[in-house]
């Protein structure tokens, strides 16, 4: 029996690592792999599904906030506005990462069951 929150945290870290190493589609691929790891740690299909979903959602929110903070520091008020616009686009795109992470969590939970 694993923990949903621990699985989600490790899946989140895996997603961030893939996104940092492979900018662009690395977040979606990392979301799938992170969800898979989260599902393996959580154990069970339902727990793996929830852990993968949480990992995908948290990584999307954190990445959007990091983009906003980076552009705010770099460009002041105009950086904040452009960071806000890009952050909204990032959240929309990372919704696909959350879906991939949920599918990965389902598969990881199935494997561990």
Q: What is the mean pLDDT of each run of 10 residues along the chain (113 residues)?
A: 83 85 80 87 85 85 79 78 80 81 87 80
Widest CA span in the chain: 50
Q: What is this structure's pTM?
A: 0.79
Given this model, what pLDDT does residue 1 score? Answer: 55
Whole-number Cα distances in Å, 91 to 2, 55, 83 = 29, 14, 12
Tokens of 101: 């992470």
């Amino acid at each position: 029996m694993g923990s949903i929150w621990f699985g989600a945290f490790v899946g989140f870290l895996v997603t961030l690592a893939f996104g940092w190493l492979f900018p662009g589609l690395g977040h979606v691929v990392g979301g799938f792999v992170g969800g898979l790891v989260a599902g393996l740690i959580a154990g069970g299909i339902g727990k793996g599904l929830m852990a993968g979903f949480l990992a995908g959602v948290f990584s999307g929110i954190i990445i959007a906030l990091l983009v906003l903070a980076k552009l705010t520091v770099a460009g002041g008020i105009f950086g904040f506005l452009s960071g806000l616009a890009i952050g909204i686009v990032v959240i929309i795109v990372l919704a696909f990462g959350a879906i991939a992470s949920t599918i990965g969590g389902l598969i990881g939970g199935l494997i561990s069951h």
